[in-house]
Structure 1
Amino acid sequence: MLTLCTALWLFQPPANANTGAHGDECKSPNYIKEVVDPLRAPGVTAQDIEVLRGFLAKNDRAGMYLMLYRLTGEEFWLMDAQITTFSGIWGGTALEANYQIKLRNQSKYDDSIDKFSLKIATNMLKWVEMSVDEGNKGIVDIGTLLMKGDGEVWKSKGLLNEYPGRVLFFNLFEYRALDFRHTMGSGSYFSAVAVLKRGGMLGKRPADYAGNSNFTIYTSKEGRFVTVIDNRTGKVEAFIDKDARPLGMLTQITDVALTENDPEYYERLWTWEFMQGNQDTAQEYNAGVWQNGRPLPNPNIKGNYFFNTKNNEWQNQKDKSRVENQALIAALNDARERSKKFRESKGFPALPQQPGRY
């Protein structure tokens, strides 16, 4: 009998003779053990669809994407696993692009990014299921996944033009010239802005979880894939593909933890808060992150400076040099305290917080 136990784990024996599902025993954590050859991948069955739905029922979006990679060998799902967990170069850049879009579309982008990502994952599964029903074993054309699986959800928000995945058609253009038309739209612009602003540096890294007993870090046989699993829930917390090459020119960020000594550490916490992403649960949208048409302030980032909460010093974001000018320090401290008090007056903590599960 197929149970939700299956939804916690991926790498099991070949399809079960009775159910047709690919493994229905809890034997191995849900991580990518090795590269999957698409020509040897088993494909998706109707029973697998039920397992995949089980991942979404517990909001383990990356768990679903990793299972789809295992079943199809399609590397598109590796990208989505990184984006949906805000991990690595893909996840950080997508987070920044969504932030840029939200800034300019307050009324339309009215979901938490976690809820938005869950809607996208659900719609992706719809297209995979259609493929299974048609006898195509869950294989879906990449262009369809981008403009239908992903794009339909953006369109439902009135944001299809802003859809940042448009930029990915630059890659498809190499062999499908007609798809180049999909790059036209402000979404490609927002993706470019995210790259220029080094949004990838906001990506989660497996090293962020080193030494945390709540999580286990798994590395694939050849060292390419690194997956972080929450020991309490079995959910995929973070995932990176070291061979990721967004747009054929970007490279994966270094797997070094962000700490209080890094300005990106504070920028990431604040962006998670404003976008309502990386939450302990996929919560409903809280419009309080907007105050008077502007995002809630970040007390630890002021202009070119960040406040290091570890040594209680203001530092330059570019070179991390300590601020020495006493008048500037006084002005920065005053601005920080005012931001903290304003946040508290609106029912938010004085400073953006790490998720409780950490």
Structure 2
Amino acid sequence: MNKLSDTLQLSDTNCVNANVRTSLTNLHGVFAAGDAVSGSRTVIQTVVAARRAAENIHAFVMGSDRDDSESRFNFNRGRSFDDVDLRNFEGIKVKLREKMPTRPPATAVQDFNEIKLGFSEEMAIKEAERCLSCGCSAFERCDLKRLAIDHKVDPNKTGMGSTPTYSRFTDHPTLTVDLNKCIYCQRCKNSCEYDALDLTASSFDEKGRAQGISLSFNERCISCGKCVDNCSTGAINKKHQIVPVVNEAVREVRTTCPYCGAGCQMLLRVKGNTILEVTTEPDLPPNYGALCVKGRFGFDFVQHKERLTKPLIRRGGQLVETTWEEALSYTASRFFDIKAMYGPDAIAGFSCARATNEENFLMQKFMRAAIGTNNIDHCARL
């Protein structure tokens, strides 16, 4: 044991010196992880390190190769709050933390019940609203992140973006612009077929980085969002983008835009049951990477809180909740009564562009085959 301790390499903080990715020490076949390597850390961090070490030990014992874990891309504006430039908080209203209600010590010492009583619903909502939403929602499509991971580049060591230089632009109806993330690749400007972006830089420093960047949208902008798809960072981003906390990979679902008859192809980026954003591919006909404002941004109704998810029947002038069986039976009986009394052409159907193409097809099929009328229309027009 003494021989091992004499040969085991230690860090400046007197912890075991082990490779972060492989957990291997300077001694062949000796692995280390947890507080012995990192010092005092949270339980989660220790468990993660132990899991990584266990996988490496298993690969070593079995004689199998194990790929290095992916490099982390954890860009920050300071290791602690004191390191963060206060200009990051310009325009943000100060909201104090809610104070957790607790039982007074005089009564708490008399039993073993919980001391902290927990937030009320109102307090919990106020506390949640304090979130600054400082995370970049473009992390799934950021080329800078992908290339930094591939080439093992730490952006924090470059000084890039740590100190804000530009104010965020939020006046656009569907987009936000944060030029602190802009690397002046000009892909946004070059991809806009309407010349709706005015992008300039006043100068370049000795490392070739653009200084005095200016970006604005002129009157030709139709909010097609193509500039967002081509942005290599999160400099141009979509407003009101939801990023659910779900431990699932983002998957792409190919579909056809239902808003009109053009048949534009779309890719829905979905995480869990939430649509993050709508994109498209430049090689897919008939739109070849282009989408209108409805196709690109008009999908929030899918997860809107006011969307009807249960059937309703009007009774006494009020819509009341009912079962699917009762709602369908009532609708069918009314169709039969109207058709028998006035004929099938007394009934008309109006389909919705917010339904899928398959649902729209079934709607016209139902009206023609089941009802027996051609009185069917759709709200979308080319």
Q: TM-score, normalised by structure 1?
A: 0.29
Structure whose residues are more often strand by fraction: 2
Larger relative CO (CA 8 A, sep 6+): 1 or 2?
Answer: 1
Q: TM-score, normalised by structure 2?
A: 0.27
Structure whose residues are more often helix by fraction: 1
Give 1 or 2 for the bigger CA radius of gyration: 2
